[in-house]
């Protein structure tokens, strides 16, 4: 299993926050904010598939979009492919002298969160996203050749015959053929459309791909085909994935490490096997116990959560899960638990674990 420490880190977020303002009243004043992602610190290693699971509205997609800077983070920093010695220097400075000019300078040079649009453009070549619903993410008026070729033109990577060659090569990689070159997205089935979206994302040879629920809009049989494709492409091109999904069985199959999110926070982070076999946080336990197993002879005890997911506008004080937690104690209502290591790279944010 891939651990966070053994491999070199490709992407790191440091106390990342993304709040969306809520406006109201006569002058559209700011009356509150949706705390979609609230203080998330994660490390994603090179070549791994990092799964991110959680219920809808917990901030998975916002996190995915923020790390590739489609959204500007409210606070916190994103480091992408920073050399190790510089990262160490930043960490040292953060601890000893958080207001120094040197730290400011380093951040401006290496932290994605501070970049402007122009500076981001070369970085965009290294990170791409595949969206949930290909029938909406592909422009219905563009031919496949233009859809897949567009990123190459924007990034000025290929032109003319070179472009065509590259597009055909990409189509071949995702299991489409030359016949599909001059076609419109509506002529394809859902699974094939998702393949076009994948080809489009991979056309410029990215290192890091955010897969935002790529299999939720397709059928079971096609889902298996797509998962195969993701695994093959990862091996072939050495990709790093951030796999966002609410379909836990898919995440279990494809991911090396998994983080569970709940109302904008990571509550548990561990190797896939550890999290599915021995979940520790009460929320992950409930979440994993509620996956239906495709085997009628196995019966398992389900933990049914009471109540509803709290609104990210007014998240509960203390531990965000305490309103629905069976084992909540006094401290859970007051203090927010921190993500602590309980061994073997298994991180949990729960007060009960500490004791």
Q: Given the rule CB under 8 A, which residues bind another protein?
A: 55-56, 189-192, 219-225, 227-228, 246, 248-250, 252-253, 272-273, 276, 286-287, 289-297, 302, 304-305, 308-309
By beta-carbon proximity to another protein, the closer residue of 201 and 287 is 287
By beta-carbon proximity to another protein, the closer residue of 178 and 273 is 273
Q: How far is the CB of 290 from another protein (least distance, A)?
A: 3
CA distance 354 to 334: 16
Element (H, E) at 224: helix 220-237
By beta-carbon proximity to another protein, the closer residue of 190 and 316 is 190
By beta-carbon proximity to another protein, the closer residue of 37 and 275 is 275
Q: How far is the CB of 296 from another protein (least distance, A)?
A: 4
User: Is residue 134 within 8 Å of residue 185, measured between CB atoms?
Assistant: yes
What is the token pair recorded at 234?
């990862």
Q: How far is the CB of 127 from another protein (least distance, A)?
A: 26
Start-to-end Cα distance in the chain: 28
List Cβ neighbours of 51 (8 Å cut-off, separation of 6 or more): 243, 244, 245, 251, 254, 255, 257, 258, 259, 272
Pairing of strands 265-271, 9-24: unpaired
Q: How far is the CB of 122 from another protein (least distance, A)?
A: 36
List Cβ neighbours of 104 (8 Å cut-off, separation of 6 or more): none
CA distance 323 to 269: 21
Q: Quick one: 52 exposed, middle or buried, by C-beta within 10 A (0-12, 13-18, 19+)?
A: buried
Q: How far is the CB of 280 from another protein (least distance, A)?
A: 17
By beta-carbon proximity to another protein, the closer residue of 146 and 247 is 247
By beta-carbon proximity to another protein, the closer residue of 25 and 292 is 292
Q: How far is the CB of 230 from another protein (least distance, A)?
A: 12
């Amino acid at each position: 299993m891939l651990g966070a420490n053994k491999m070199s880190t490709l992407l790191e977020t440091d106390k990342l926050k993304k709040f969306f303002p809520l406006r109201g009243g006569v002058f559209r004043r700011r009356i509150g904010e949706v705390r979609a992602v609230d203080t998330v610190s994660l490390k994603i290693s090179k070549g791994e598939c990092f799964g991110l699971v959680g219920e809808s509205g917990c901030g998975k997609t916002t996190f995915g979009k923020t790390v590739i800077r489609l959204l500007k983070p409210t606070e916190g920093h994103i480091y992408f492919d920073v050399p190790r010695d510089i990262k160490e220097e930043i960490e040292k400075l953060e601890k000893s002298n958080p207001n120094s000019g040197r730290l400011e300078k380093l951040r401006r040079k290496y932290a994605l969160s501070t970049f402007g649009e122009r500076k981001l453009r070369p970085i965009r070549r290294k990170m791409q996203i595949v969206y949930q619903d290909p029938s909406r993410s592909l422009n219905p008026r563009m031919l496949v050749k233009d859809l897949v070729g567009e990123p190459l033109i924007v990034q000025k990577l290929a032109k003319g015959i070179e472009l065509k060659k590259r597009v055909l090569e990409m189509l071949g990689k995702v299991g489409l053929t030359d016949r599909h070159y001059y076609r419109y997205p509506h002529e394809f089935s859902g699974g094939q459309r998702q393949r076009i979206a994948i080809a489009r994302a991979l056309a410029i040879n990215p290192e890091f791909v955010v897969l935002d629920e790529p299999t939720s809009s397709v059928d079971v049989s096609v889902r298996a085909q797509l998962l195969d494709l993701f695994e093959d492409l990862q091996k072939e091109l050495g990709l790093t994935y951030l796999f966002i999904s609410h379909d836990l069985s898919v995440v279990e199959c494809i991911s090396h490490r998994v983080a569970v999110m709940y109302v904008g926070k990571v509550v548990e982070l561990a190797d896939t096997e550890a999290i599915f076999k021995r979940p520790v946080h009460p929320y992950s336990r409930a979440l994993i116990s509620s996956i239906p197993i495709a085997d009628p002879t196995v019966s398992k005890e389900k933990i049914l959560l009471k109540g509803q997911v709290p609104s990210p506008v007014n998240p509960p004080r203390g531990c965000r899960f305490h309103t629905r937690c069976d084992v909540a104690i006094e401290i859970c209502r007051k203090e927010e638990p921190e993500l602590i290591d309980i061994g073997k790279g298994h991180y949990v944010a729960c007060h009960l674990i500490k004791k």
